[in-house]
């Protein structure tokens, strides 16, 4: 597994009101979510990035307001 280091000022951690571990977990999820939104990661790869299973990632993504399906216009009209 590769490692990416991101320096975060202590003031940001304190300001977030989270523990370091919670901050890292949320940052990993948000990175995975954005990469998924952009189509750069599949839901499986995004879930791997934030140490979740695919179903849990998709459920959390949906609760975060991110569409988890890509319906074409005709299919979308059928559901309207």
pLDDT at 69: 75
Residue with tokens 């523990």: 19
Residue with tokens 């954005």: 34
pLDDT at 78: 54
For the chain, 80 residues long, give each residue's pLDDT as a single digit of tens: 789 999 999 999 999 999 999 999 999 999 999 999 999 999 999 999 999 999 999 999 999 998 887 645 554 455 55
pLDDT at 77: 55
CA distance 54 to 72: 23
* CA proximity to 50, closest of 18, 16, 19, 24: 24
pLDDT at 67: 83
CA distance 72 to 45: 23
């Amino acid at each position: 597994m590769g490692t990416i280091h991101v320096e975060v000022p202590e003031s940001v951690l304190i300001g977030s009101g989270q523990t370091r571990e919670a901050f890292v977990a949320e940052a990993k999820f948000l990175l995975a979510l954005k990469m998924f939104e952009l189509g750069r990661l599949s839901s499986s790869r995004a879930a791997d990035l934030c140490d979740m299973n695919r179903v849990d990632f998709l459920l959390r993504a949906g609760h975060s307001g991110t569409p988890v399906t890509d319906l074409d216009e005709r299919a979308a009209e059928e559901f309207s």
